[in-house]
Amino acid sequence: MGSWRLLKTWVANEIPCRAPPLTEQALQTLAGYALFHNQTKFALSLLLAFYGLLRTGELLSVRNRDVAQEGPTSVAVISLGLTKAGKRVGAAESVTITEEDTLRRLWQWKQVTPHGSLLCPPAHQWRKLFNNAVEALGLQEYQYRPYSLRRGGATFYFQKHGQLDRLLVQGRWQSSRTARLYINSGLATLAEFELKLTPHATTFHRQFLRSRRSPLPQLEHATRGRAGGTGSKNSKHKKRNKKGRKSFCG
């Protein structure tokens, strides 16, 4: 009994080490960096986690078949199954995506990938992509972590709509008290610092903003080769060359 009292007192007085909320500008910079390096699915995963307020585990579990969407401008519903909160009440959960640029990128991915394919690579690979992008953009001082996407998305959502009840639905919190503490701490953290992008990072942020107004490049199943063409096209070209040489010699 005494141990529980001690634990409650410690939790009440000790400031938890939470992941700092990611700003929308930082999100767009990370996504721009990913798109520049042809990491299209990684960029989409960042956008989904932020605007969908997804927990990292939920994001890593998203498959093509979990996305219900009728067109590139239609609202998307992502089935999350039994999530952390869903298990408590024994009900599957879902989240709605309404951000326009994210919707068209999500639709494109859904059209070119198999029904059962995952959006993200294995957890350790995805986390490495995230950490590498943060480091490459010089954002280490902000101590961003994957969970910063959900925290940042929740803070952004509340700032945009200003309605706690809508946030409760989108973030799938059972308690308004928990959500209020979550948002208040996020807003307090954002008020303590100003995001300062290096000229290098600013370039990727601008590139992402431009990409929102441009047609999406065609997605390829194969990885790109060093020369910039797709691996599948290069291999076909090599096969044709080999056939040509054989017929010429023979």
- pLDDT tens-digit map of 144-187: 999 999 999 999 988 888 788 888 888 888 878 888 887 888 88
**Rounded to 10 degrees, what is the CA torsion of 125, 127, 131, 132?**
20
Instruction: Give the HSE-up count for residue 100: Cα atoms under 13 Å, Cβ half-sphere.
Output: 5
Residue type, 40: T
Over residues 80-132, the pLDDT tens digits come to: 986 555 455 556 799 999 999 999 999 999 999 999 999 999 999 999 999 99
Mean pLDDT, the chain, as a whole number? Answer: 82
H or E stretch covering 68: strand 67-68
Look up tokens 């990727």; give the residue: 204
Find the mean pLDDT for residues 231-241: 43
The pLDDT value given to residue 127: 98
The length of the chain in residues reads 250
Please answer whether residues 23 and 152 qualify as being in contact, where contact means their C-beta atoms are separated by less than 8 angstroms: yes
Distance CA 177, CA 65 (A): 34
Per the model's pLDDT, the better-predicted residue between 241 and 163 turns out to be 163
Tokens of 28: 């767009």
The pLDDT value given to residue 146: 97
Coil, strand or helix at 98: coil
- Plot region of 199 (φ>0 → left; ψ -120 to 50 → alpha; else → beta): alpha
Please answer whether residues 99 and 107 qualify as being in contact, where contact means their C-beta atoms are separated by less than 8 angstroms: no
Please answer whether residues 129 and 28 qualify as being in contact, where contact means their C-beta atoms are separated by less than 8 angstroms: no
Domain spans, the chain: 18-61+119-213
The pLDDT value given to residue 83: 57
The pLDDT value given to residue 39: 97
Over residues 52-87, the pLDDT tens digits come to: 999 999 999 999 999 999 999 999 999 998 655 545
Sheet of 76-81: strands edge to edge? Answer: 67-68, 76-81, 93-97
Per the model's pLDDT, the better-predicted residue between 35 and 229 turns out to be 35
Coil, strand or helix at 191: helix
Answer whether residue 31 shows pLDDT above 90.
yes
Give me the phi and psi of 143, to 5 degrees please: 55, 40
Answer whether residue 12 shows pLDDT above 70.
no
Tokens of 4: 């529980």
Distance CA 239, CA 122 (A): 33
Tokens of 174: 């059972």
Distance CA 110, CA 119 (A): 9
The pLDDT value given to residue 42: 98
Tokens of 240: 């044709």
DSSP 64: G
- DSSP assignment of 175-194 equals -HHHHHHHHHHHHHHHHH--
The pLDDT value given to residue 2: 55
